[in-house]
Amino acid sequence: MTESERSNAHLLEEIERLRTENSKLRDELDAERCSSNMDKLPMSLDEFKRYGRQMIVDETEGLKGQLKLKNSSVLVVGAGGLGCPSLPYLAGAGIGKIGIVDNDIVDTSNLHRQVLHDSTKVGMFKCESAKQVLNKLNPHVSVTTYPVRLSNANAFDIFEDYDVILDCTDTPMARYLISDVAVNLGKPVVSASALRTEGQLSIFNFANSGPCYRCFYPTPPAPTSVSSCQEGGVLGPCVGLVGVAMVVETLKLLLGVYTIENFKPFLLQYSGFPDQTLRKFKMRGRREDCPASGSNKTVTRKAIESGEIDYHSFCGSRNYNVLKEDDRITVKKFEEEYRNSSNNKPYFLLDVRPSLHYSISHLPDTHNITVNELRDLQPELEELQTKIPHISKDSEVLVICRYGNDSQLATQLLKDKFKLKDVRDIKGGFFKYIDEINPSLPKY
Amino acid sequence: MVRLTVEFLGGLDVIVKKQRQYKVDVKVDGKEEIDVGDLIQWIVANLIEHERDVNVFLENDSIRPGILTLINDTDWELEGEKEYVLEDGDVISFTSTLHGG
């Protein structure tokens, strides 16, 4: 081996030694980097995997947006037809903290649309039932329940901890209260409603400069013109779609998609029939003279919490009790003296529910005619006889409806308009009859 | 005369023979320019089926609280309300405010 060959071999050996050392150092460095990375990861690996499919959508701005959602909080008021579809999507999306306010309990008649609940949960608080589902769906989300009725007294304390409020309630009274409290606390409200096959959705008090519920609706509607789902009915998927749409708007708020510059007040109107449409109406901005969000506000926190703002009297309530006690009969008396009596005295039983209600279930030997049909008739007995043959001014007439409200209006009409002498309404209606006399009849 | 589309949404179609959309030619004697105020009177006279339903639509001669009026998908308050002068092709929508949830 020559001198130069020996030197080469030495150099090669040296290079190999350095290579090994370098690779070892690299490994150590990687391990160090890796462990410090683990400490610095803003979410768990499970969360990366869980939210991956939404983080790679441009609109969410990836990890940055996901962290915004993780650090945000949303309060859902009402775990019913709108709350049920919105809650799992909020939890699924990884909103860090979700609050649910509802003091109602699950009823079988809710389940066709309130699909977060189920048959085994009838009788349970809706907010608790919802929480169970959300905890299973996403353990990274903290869920707080408030099994109370939202009121002037408790609303501020509950709202304070949340960034966005979802109004999933079902009365004008609750809607005014939620909007007023949110305006006072400077929080945006995603507000929706639905009935039958239609729904509406708006954002109120956006960035403390957008219109509030009172700006859109300064005067509450007459209580007689407000229909509930119980009364007017509702299709599950129609209210469901609107609830899901609320979450899309909530995500836009939390991700900062809406800005002072680009936000324009709107009302989305969804129709399920005859063709499905989602229309966007351009709406007015704040009302300068709005008592809640205008320049001279009177709907302050103090005025709300002290009860000075009285939502009951502002929105009013219906007064159905138009009849004297003599003009009414209890279901028990009705059963004893008419249905189950041996004296067989002739009488007419008028069921004044809408025909779809009547077709679901009704008592035998009844005539179905609605209050509006009675109103449309000319005020003559002969007219009434075209609908109810052989009825006369001296006939004994009993009137029944679902809960005993419309039957009072009909009783009054029969007396005043057709001059019938002996008309009485059945107190509490068909449902009371089913509850107290014959539970084997279908209630709906 | 002005040729319009008039819509009744949010369940309001019950007062106009359960038809949600009407294509109508509105004519008011002695008036060349027809405004939304005229249209409201025209609807009461021509589309509302029962007298008793007029107060579902109107209160104190104006649209009842709880009904939103849209002119070409825009809140009528931004368009001059009853004074808005109608043009051929305009779409006027009335929708009940919904409260269920």
Residues from chain B contacting residue A211 (CB–CB below 8 Å): none
Percent of chain A at pLDDT exceeding 70: 98
Last residue in a domain, options A246, A281, A315:
A315
Among A292, A315, A338, where does a domain finish?
Answer: A315
Residue B64 belongs to what H/E stretch?
A: none
Same domain for A235 and A213: yes
Window from A69-78, A219-228, A230-239, A297-306 with minimum mean pLDDT:
A219-228
Claim to verify: residue A308 and residue A413 sit in the same structural domain: no
Mean pLDDT across B36-51: 96
Residues A264 and A359 in one domain: no
Same domain for A357 and A272: no
Q: Which residues of A110-133 are buried (b: 16+ CB within 10 A; e: fewer)?
A: bbebbbbbeeebeeebbbbbbbeb
A277–chain B Cβ distance below 8 A for any pair? no
Residue contact B52–A372, C-beta within 8 A:
yes
CA-wise closest residue to A59 among A209, A249, A227, A217? A249
In CATH, the architecture of B2-96 is Roll (3.10)
- A420 in any annotated domain: yes
* Whether residue A60 is found in the same domain as residue A140: yes
Residue A148 domain-assigned (yes or no)? yes
A401 is catalytic: yes
The reply to whether A32 falls in a domain is: no
Give the confidence band of A230 by pLDDT, cuts at 50, 70, 90.
confident
- Residue B64: its chain A contacts at CB < 8 A? 221-222, 225
Domain containing A291: what range?
Answer: 50-315
Contact A281 B74 (CB under 8 A): yes
pLDDT of A20 strictly over 90:
no
Same domain, A283 and A164: yes
Residue A45 lies in a domain: no
**A194 in the same domain as A164:** yes
Q: How many CB atoms lie within 10 A of CB A200?
A: 23
* Surface of A (157-196) touching B: CB under 8 A: 167-172, 175, 192-196
In the residue annotation, A127 being an active-site residue is answered as no
What is the predicted pLDDT for the residue at A340? 84
Rounded to the nearest integer, the mean pLDDT of chain A is: 94
Q: Which residue has the higher pLDDT, A231 or A73?
A: A73
Would you call A282 an interface residue with chain B, using a CB distance cutoff of 8 Å? yes
CB-CB: which of A192, A225, A375 is closest to B56? A225
- Residue A121 CA to residue A339 CA, distance in Å, equals 37
Contact A267 B11 (CB under 8 A): no
**Domain boundary pick from A256, A289, A315:** A315
Question: Which listed residue (A168, A229, A238, A315) is catalytic?
Answer: A229
- Considering the domain architecture, whether residues A300 and A334 belong to the same structural domain is answered as no
Looking at residue A364, which CATH number applies to its domain? 3.40.250.10
- Across the range B1-19, mean pLDDT stands at 96
pLDDT digits (tens, 9 = 90+) for A8-19: 888 888 888 888
> A31-67: per-residue pLDDT in tens?
666 555 556 899 999 999 999 999 999 999 999 999 9
pLDDT digits (tens, 9 = 90+) for A368-399: 999 989 998 999 999 999 999 999 999 999 99
User: Does residue A106 lie in a domain region?
Assistant: yes
Chain-chain contact of A219 with B65 (C-beta, under 8 angstroms): yes
Q: Do residues A299 and A344 share a domain?
A: no
Question: What does the domain layout of chain B look like in residue ranges?
Answer: 2-96
Q: Which two tokens stand for residue A343?
A: 């004296």
Q: Please tell me whether residues A223 and A147 are part of one structural domain.
A: yes
Which CATH number do you get for residue A190? 3.40.50.720
For residue A178, CA distances in Å to A170, A181, A187, A205, A310 come to 12, 5, 10, 11, 13
| ipTM field | 0.96
CB contacts, 8 Å: B70 with chain A: 281
Contact yes or no for B20 and A274 at CB 8 A: yes
Catalytic one of A84, A168, A315, A401: A401
Nearest 10 degrees: Cα torsion B48, A351, A239, A213: 60
Q: Which candidate in A87, A197, A269, A273 is best for mutational testing of the B interface (most B CBs within 10 A)?
A: A269
Question: How many domains are there within chain A?
Answer: 2
For residue A32, the model assigns a pLDDT of: 64
Q: Which residues from A are below 8 Å from B100, CB to CB?
A: 81, 170, 193-195, 227-229, 232, 234, 239
Q: Encode pLDDT of A166-184 as tens digits.
A: 999 999 999 999 999 999 9
Q: How far is the alpha carbon of A340 from chain B, nearest alpha carbon, in Å?
A: 39
Considering only CB atoms, which chain B residues are within 8 Å of A227?
11, 99-100
Model confidence pLDDT, tens digit, residues A400-422: 999 999 999 999 999 999 999 99
Task: Determine, yes or no, domain membership for A6.
Answer: no
